[in-house]
Amino acid sequence: MKRWGVIVLTVGLIFTGGLSICLIGKRSLQVSQTKREDVSSLTREAEEALNKGDFIEARKIFKRILEEVTDIKKIEEVRKKLEEINMKILFSSIIDECSKEYVVKPNDTLIKIAKRFNTTVELIKRANGLTSDIIKPAQRLKVNVCKFSLVIDKSQNLLFLKRNNEVIKTYIVATGKGNSTPTGKFKIVNKIKNPTWFKTGAVIPPDSPQNILGSRWLGLDIKGYGIHGTKEPDNLGKQITLGCIRMTNQDVEELYDILPLGTEVIIVE
């Protein structure tokens, strides 16, 4: 009898469990469908916000969408849209949680303001549509107040621009062949426009076809290593450099304008 009791109980559990699985399956399907409907609705809201020029609201909605979607293709699509919005906000007069309005005082200069807020003259100019360094008292300027940092992933050949510890843009880069790019925590210690390449036994001027550094140099506090442009953009995404981090000229020029000296750079395997 005890054996039969165990068998009956086991059979009952199997059927009950099966029923539970069916119910859970239906519930999961309903939740999944609800999420898909929510994502479609949220996407329409985000696009409407973009059409109205409300980039802050659009960014908020796309972040919510990113939390809901599971399809890799959709995730990548939303991520790219978010990064586009992030850069539009950064390079415009829109005030967000990482910026403030600053009223220019007598004797102020862009250099003084940039130093005060640990930002760059170039970023202030781009955010405010300035074409010269001339500013006037009582003029209102948007200035960035959050800290930037970089993370470089050698295994993926990707560089992540972070602001206030949140990734705001992803760049494809090239790193050192033979895994020669050093790992660790570094800082940007110098910035050079149209750099000269001091190659072993030679000095290669900026306009030379043999100069591999491109249009900008962001030097790290480890001798001989930095982030720079390239004249061979087709070779990005590979481990192909002499150890430095290589980007398109357009991308490195963007980082040059954004990042102040002292910016932290973390390089991982």
Taking a C-beta distance cutoff of 8 angstroms, is the pair 237, 170 a contact?
no
Catalytic residue check, 228:
yes
- Cβ-proximal residues to 88 (8 Å cutoff; 6+ apart), any chain: 55, 94
Pick from 60, 90, 120: which residue ends a domain?
A: 90
Q: What is the pLDDT along the chain (269 residues), one digit of tens a residue?
A: 333 343 333 333 333 344 343 333 444 444 444 455 588 999 999 999 999 999 999 999 999 999 999 999 999 999 999 999 999 999 999 999 999 999 999 999 999 999 999 999 999 999 999 999 999 999 999 999 999 999 999 999 999 999 999 999 999 999 999 999 999 999 999 999 999 999 888 999 998 988 999 999 999 999 999 999 999 999 999 999 999 999 999 999 999 999 999 999 999 99
Q: How many independent structural domains does the chain possess?
A: 3
> What's the pTM?
0.85
Q: Is 89 helix (H, G, I), strand (E, B) or coil?
A: helix
169 and 83 part of one domain: no
Which of the 8 DSSP states describes residue 214?
Answer: T
- Cβ-proximal residues to 17 (8 Å cutoff; 6+ apart), any chain: none
79 and 153 part of one domain: no
60 and 158 part of one domain: no
Pick from 90, 113, 130: which residue ends a domain?
A: 90
Q: Which of 22, 98, 146, 244 is catalytic?
A: 244
Q: How far apart are CA 34 and CA 118, in angstroms?
A: 45
242 and 190 part of one domain: yes
The CATH number covering residue 112 comes to 3.10.350.10
Nearest-CA neighbor of 143 among 262, 261, 260?
260
Catalytic residue check, 22:
no
132 and 166 part of one domain: no
Q: Which of 22, 98, 146, 228 is catalytic?
A: 228
Residue range of the domain that includes 157? 148-268
Q: How far apart are CA 98 and CA 161, in angstroms?
A: 14
140 and 154 part of one domain: no
